[in-house]
Structure 1
C-alpha cells in the first residue's frame, strides 16, 4: 500500500510553503509500508534556529488555509528540530547540523521518495530525485 493522494497533496503543499521560506534539501518519503501511524515523512532543513521557526510558521499558515492543524507539535521553542504531526504526514524541520547528525534519510532510505513537484530547483535537487522514485 502506498501513501494516499491526500497525504501526498498535504506533503506537496507543505513542501511548497517550506520552499517559499528558503528551506533546504526538501524531501518526502513514503513510509506507509513501514509505519501504520502515518503515510509520509517530509524533511527540510535550515542553517539557523530562526529560519527553522520561519519555515514552520510558513507550513502551518499554508496548511491552515486547508483547515489542517497539527495534532502534535514538538521542538518549537528550541528551533533545532521541529516536528509537526498532521497524522497522515509528519513534517520534520531541522537545523542543518541536527539533520546531518540524525540522518533521517539514511534511517528511512529504503522507503520510496515522493515527487514534491517543486520543479524549479527548490529543495536543491530533492524533486528531481523524488521524480525518479515516484510511484514505487
Structure 2
C-alpha cells in the first residue's frame, strides 16, 4: 500500500470512530520517522482506545505492519507507528498540552476534509 493511501485510510478510520479535530501533517523532508503524522483526539479514555484499536485492526486487515503501539492502557496519548504514517490519538486534555501541531509548525497540513467528505456522500 502506498503511504498516501495508508494516510487516507488512517484518516477515514479515525473519522469513522468520531475522532475530533483530525489534522494530518506532511512530514516528508522534516522527519525521518514518517511521511505523515495524523493527530486527533477523543473526549474520553474509552473513545481514545476505540479509535486506536480500530486503527490497529484496519492496518492489520490491510496487511500493514503495526510497528509499535504505545500508551493504549492509559489512553491519554496513544501513538501507533504504521511505518510511513504515525497516528497520534490524544485525550482532549493531553492534546492541548502537547500541541504537536505547533511543535511541527514547519510541516504542511493535508486537507483532511477532501479525504473524509467524499466518504460521507456515499
1:89-122 C-alpha deviation (Å, 9 max, x unpaired): 11100000000000001111221112331117x8
With structure 1 as the length reference, what TM-score do the two structures score?
Answer: 0.80
Asked if 1:6 is matched to 2:5, the reply is: no
Aligned to 2:56: 60
Identify which of 100, 119, 133 aligns with 2:117. Answer: 119
With structure 2 as the length reference, what TM-score do the two structures score?
Answer: 0.89
Kindly indicate which of the two structures has a greater share of residues assigned to strand.
Answer: 2
Structure 2: any 5+ residue segments left out of the alignment?
none
Runs of 4+ in 1 over 3 A off after TM superposition: none
- Give the RMSD, CA atoms, in angstroms: 1.6
1:31·1:38 contact (CA, 8 Å) conserved in 2?
yes
Structure 1: any 5+ residue segments left out of the alignment?
123-136
1:52-106 C-alpha deviation (Å, 9 max, x unpaired): 0000111112122211131111001101100000121111000000000000011
Give the distance between the partners of 1:60 and 1:53, measured in 2 at CA. Answer: 10
